[in-house]
Chains A and B, each alone.
Chain A
């Protein structure tokens, strides 16, 4: 069996395990969809999210869709991977796998497969709910979709590596959720996912700008909001080079920490 074949089997196992864990499905996979439903319904009476140049109204669902997509990427990458891996390290799963001839590369491929499959399903669900339930106009231009695919994949790669890196933080499997979830919750509140970024105080915007979620959300807004909305961003434009730069910086940070701290077989003490 090659590394790739074993990786595909691991991915199948990981996806199956993911969807059989009801709590993860609800709080990681479905959570952004639930939040989109809540925001879109709660603010459905407020028409003043803005108007597109052609006169069509930007409703709450349109306004919140990019934020929920970014938030979903953060939860699938950082939250579910960090909590899962910390748990697998604590409960002996990783030691059992490391006792077999399974290559560590196949194990990583399994995690990548899980992130891609669950992330893509979540994205499709978000787009479907937005378009079908709330009449959000999705982009029709292939170039826009290609740009979105690039931002989304970069975001998923970055958050996944940060998830693997953060899995070393909890000191036990039981504390994993308690350690990781507050990080993702705070980031979601300060990064323009739940609250409009332009309404946050300047200093808080600066703090949030040091973290990847703010840039991921801005990149997603550039795809799903009319170009005029760019004026509301701190720099007055979508500033995609900064989006790519900051996500890239955090990708390198996540990769570096993973390379230094990740242990397949712990022989350290």
Chain B
């Protein structure tokens, strides 16, 4: 076992002309780890991944994938790195088996083509042309092509865009089994549940910077994970209070005025945390924050994020 990280990024910068898009990204992917890179469109995810794949030049900083600078990629390095692009092209006239076999030839120690086809669940379609497959099946072919060379690091760029929920779950199974065999995986996705399901760690990129990093359960810190209590007051006003003691707050509400309308106690999901992280900071609406009742210390826990939610819900 090596202690060298699969991917090491330090102070990565990239400018297109004089327009900077990456402002000094740093993160690691440890050997055998699955890391999801999340961020809104235009945040710099794709640029980052393309630099890691050796498809794009960086402007500055240090990048190493399996200890090698991707800008100096050679055949030996390509043989250890699997890439599943957003679109893998072709006119779809090849059959699944033809394209997997042909791709395998370029690698020094490939997996057996039929085994790989079975691993992505396409044995029944092995003799079919790609153009006759569904979108989800074609995407699984792309993954088969990315893993047939037995890569140590696999880049998956938005692998399940356009999948139906069933196909997405089947696909997750494929990725998990790869991870189980020790493959390091870098995943970019727009689906937060996908990141939560598959990744050991999440790196959130916004406006060309890493804004947060952590396991899906701890991302954003305990503050961002504090439960919300929401209800509608007798005056018809929506309330949203963040508190570490939701039960105590609810008990107090009931004691004060009986059963509150539309009561909810919500623990923020990864998606809520993510949206809070990538949102542009907005001014706190003081009127709304003050309007929330302040039983004990709970009201004081309102953060900028909470205030924003209150504002939106009150509209």
Contact = CB atoms under 8 A, between A and B. Distances in A.
Interface of A: 1, 5-6, 9-10, 13, 16-17, 20-21, 87-88, 91-96, 98-103, 106, 265-269
Interface in B48-71: 53-57, 71
Contacts of A266: 55
Contacts of A9: 102, 105
B197 interface: no
Contacts of B195: none
A21 B94 CA distance: 11
Contacts of A91: 87, 89-90
Contacts of B56: 267, 269
12 contacts: A87-B91, A92-B86, A92-B87, A95-B55, A96-B145, A99-B83, A100-B103, A101-B75, A101-B108, A265-B54, A267-B71, A268-B57
A96 B54 contact: no
A10 to B, nearest CB: 8
A17 B103 contact: no
A101 B78 contact: yes
Contacts of B55: 95, 98-99, 265-267
B257 to A, nearest CB: 61
A202 B250 CA distance: 97
Nearest to B75: A101
Contacts of A99: 53, 55, 78, 81, 83, 85
A100 B89 contact: no
Interface in B116-150: 129, 145, 149
Given A266-B55, A267-B55, A16 B149 contact: no
A5 B145 CA distance: 19
B281 to A, nearest CB: 31
A101 B148 CA distance: 12
B85 A101 contact: no
Nearest to B107: A101
Contact of A1 (B16, B98, B106, B129): B106
Given A13-B94, A267-B71, A101 B149 contact: yes
Contacts of A21: 91, 93
Contacts, number: 80
Interface in B71-99: 71, 73, 75-76, 78-79, 81, 83, 85-91, 93-94, 98
A101 B145 contact: no
A93 B102 CA distance: 14
Nearest to B76: A101
A106 B81 CA distance: 20
Nearest to B83: A99
A37 B107 CA distance: 47
Contacts of A17: 91, 93-94
B208 to A, nearest CB: 16
Which has the most chain B C-beta neighbours within 10 Å: A100, A266, A268? A100
A67 to B, nearest CB: 31
A88 B102 contact: no
Contact of A20 (B53, B54, B93): B93
A6 B105 contact: yes
A93 B106 contact: no
A107 to B, nearest CB: 10
Interface in B1-25: 16
B57 A100 contact: no
Given A9-B105, A101-B149, A267-B56, A95 B94 contact: no
Interface string B28-65: 00000000000000000000000001111100000000
Contacts of B145: 96
A18 to B, nearest CB: 9
Contacts of A98: 55
A1 B105 contact: yes
B87 A100 contact: no
B241 to A, nearest CB: 49
Which has the most chain A C-beta neighbours within 10 Å: B87, B108, B149? B87
Given A9-B105, A100-B103, A93 B54 contact: no
8 nearest interchain CB pairs?
A: A92-B89, A93-B89, A91-B89, A20-B93, A99-B83, A101-B75, A101-B78, A102-B106
Given A16-B98, A94-B89, A100-B149, 6 more contacts: A20-B129, A21-B91, A96-B85, A98-B55, A103-B75, A266-B55
Contact of A100 (B16, B76, B78, B91): B78
